[in-house]
């Protein structure tokens, strides 16, 4: 596995590669890798000549300084895992190399997708995501890029960005990997105590119950039930729960035929923010 730490070295590598007409699969990550990340690498390996992962904790997508500072960093372990999974290239640039002294976001218009859910609670988050993913797309020029449904809103926003900027990149969504107790794998889980990790199974349990209740109860009643469930679970604080249309990400109040919907949730335990979603 080749490891690059500067974009100029990486660009030189791609220049050499360009005559070989090989397809490039790209998996952007912020490190602290787990099986969810590795499933994206495996998916890329199936369909591309070269798979490249980036490990970069992007400062412009963090709205809270504490969250950025406490983001887990396990670079040696990450590199070992990527090697084991058969990743071909890993790019671990510095903030300076990427932002060149100007650590700020560009402004994007994602046709309103950015104002729903996460957009309401994480000021500037999706402009930060768009900025870094677009920067990597221009450095790497991938054929396919892989994103997890764990961050479903992000996946839809990246698809929108590619469409609006006419980038010739195929965006592939990959299913959510979960712990045995149902908790969606996340780098932030590293910050949970073992008790919190165990208790966090409530998130997936609630989502599954929502799916079951959809046959018999109104969406208004389901929302109230979810709110109550978390009120009764004092170590978790519900930030939002929504049932939304997969394409528009707009919250719905009734189910219509021929549309696809998902339940989305964000909760806090201590200062650790966890998100999850489930196709309905
Ligand atoms: P992150 O390092 O959190 O920025 O995640 C990098 C990529 O891995 C994103 O596309 C995430 O959606 C994806 N990802 C994170 N957790 C999971 C998971 N549990 N299952 C599948 N994909 C995931």
* Cα 151 to middle of ligand 1, angstroms: 7
* Catalytic residue ranges: 37
Distances (CA, A) of 118 to 62, 132, 146, 185: 12, 17, 20, 18
pLDDT digits (tens, 9 = 90+) for 240-259: 999 999 999 999 998 888 99
**C-alpha neighbours within 13 Å on the C-beta side of residue 53:** 30
The CA distance from 90 to 225, in Å, is 45
| Contact (CB, 8 A) for 188 and 210 | no
Q: How far is the CA of 184 from the centre of ligand 1 (A)?
A: 10
Query: What's the whole-number mean pLDDT along residues 49-54?
Result: 98
How high is the pLDDT of residue 18? 77
Count of other CB atoms within 10 angstroms of residue 214:
16
Q: Which residues contact 163 (CB under 8 A, 6 or more apart)?
A: none
pTM here is 0.95
For ligand 1, the distance from its centroid to the CA atom of residue 9, given in whole angstroms, is 26
Which residues contact ligand 1 via a Cβ below 6 A? Answer: 29-30, 36-37, 39-40, 147-148, 150-151, 174, 176-177, 184-187
Q: Whose CA is nearest to atom 13 of ligand 1?
A: 148
Shortest-distance atom of ligand 1 to CA 33: 2
Question: Phi/psi of residue 242, each to 5°?
Answer: -140, 145
**What domains are there in the chain, each with its CATH number?**
2-174 (3.40.50.620), 187-279 (3.30.1300.10)
Share above pLDDT 70 across residues of the chain, in percent, rounded to a whole number? 100
In sign, the C-alpha dihedral spanning 169, 173, 177, 183 is positive
Q: What is the CA radius of gyration of the chain?
A: 19
Q: What 3 state SS string does the chain have?
A: CEEECCHHHHHHHHHHHHCCCCCEEEEEECCCCCHHHHHHHHHHHHHCCEEEEEECCCHHHCCCHHHHHCCCCCHHHHHHHHHHHCCCEEECCCHHHHHCCCCCCCCCCCCCHHHCCHHHHCCCHHHHHHHHHHHHHHHHCCCEEEEEHHHHHHHHHHHHHHHHCCCCCEEEEECCCECCCCCECCHHHHHCCHHHHHHCHHHHHHHHHHHHHCCCCCHHHHHHHHHHHHHCCCCCEEEEEEEEECCCCCECCCCCCCCCEEEEEEEEECCEEEEEEEEC
- pLDDT tens digits along 100-156: 999 999 999 999 999 999 999 999 999 999 999 999 999 999 999 999 999 999 999
Q: What is the dihedral of CA 270, 205, 249, 190, to 10 degrees?
A: 40
pLDDT for the residue 233: 87
Q: What is the pLDDT of residue 144?
A: 98
Backbone angles phi, psi at 95, to 5 degrees: -60, -40
Identify any residues that bridge with 173 across adjacent strands, giving them in sequence order. Answer: 147
pLDDT in tens, 68-112: 999 999 999 999 999 999 999 999 999 999 999 999 999 999 999
Dihedral over Cα of 231, 70, 8, 40: its sign: negative
Instruction: Report residue 174 as tokens.
Output: 């990959």
The candidate with the shortest Cα–Cα distance to 272, out of 239, 230, 226, 242, is 239
- Contact indicator for 196, 235 with CB cutoff of 8 Å: yes
- Indicate whether 17 pLDDT > 90: no
Shortest CA distance to 186 belongs to which of 200, 173, 172? 200
């Amino acid at each position: 596995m080749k490891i690059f730490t500067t974009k100029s070295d990486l660009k030189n590598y791609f220049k050499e590669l360009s005559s070989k007409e090989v397809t490039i699969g790209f998996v952007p990550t912020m490190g602290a890798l787990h099986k969810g990340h590795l499933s994206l690498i495996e998916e890329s390996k199936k369909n591309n000549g070269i798979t490249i992962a980036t490990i970069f904790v992007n400062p412009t997508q963090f709205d809270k300084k504490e969250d950025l500072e406490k983001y887990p960093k396990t670079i040696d372990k990450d590199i070992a895992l990527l090697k084991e999974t058969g990743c071909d290239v890993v790019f671990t640039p510095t903030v300076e190399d990427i932002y060149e002294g100007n650590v700020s976001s560009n402004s994007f218009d994602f046709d309103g997708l950015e104002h729903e859910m996460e957009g309401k609670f994480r000021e500037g988050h999706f402009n930060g995501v768009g900025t870094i993913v677009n920067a990597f797309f221009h450095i790497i020029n991938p054929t396919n890029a892989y994103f997890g449904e764990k961050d479903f809103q992000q996946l839809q926003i990246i698809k929108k960005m590619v469409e609006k900027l006419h980038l010739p990149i195929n965006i592939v969504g990959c299913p959510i990997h979960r712990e045995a107790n149902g908790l969606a794998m996340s780098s932030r889980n590293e910050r949970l105590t073992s008790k919190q990790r165990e208790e966090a199974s409530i998130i997936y349990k609630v989502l599954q119950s929502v799916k079951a209740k959809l046959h018999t109860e109104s969406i208004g009643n389901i929302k109230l039930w979810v709110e109550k469930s978390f009120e009764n679970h004092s170590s978790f604080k519900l930030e939002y729960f929504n049932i939304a249309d997969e394409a528009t990400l707009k919250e719905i109040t009734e189910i219509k035929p021929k549309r696809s919907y998902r339940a989305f949730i964000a909760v806090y335990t201590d200062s650790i923010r966890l998100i999850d979603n489930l196709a309905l």
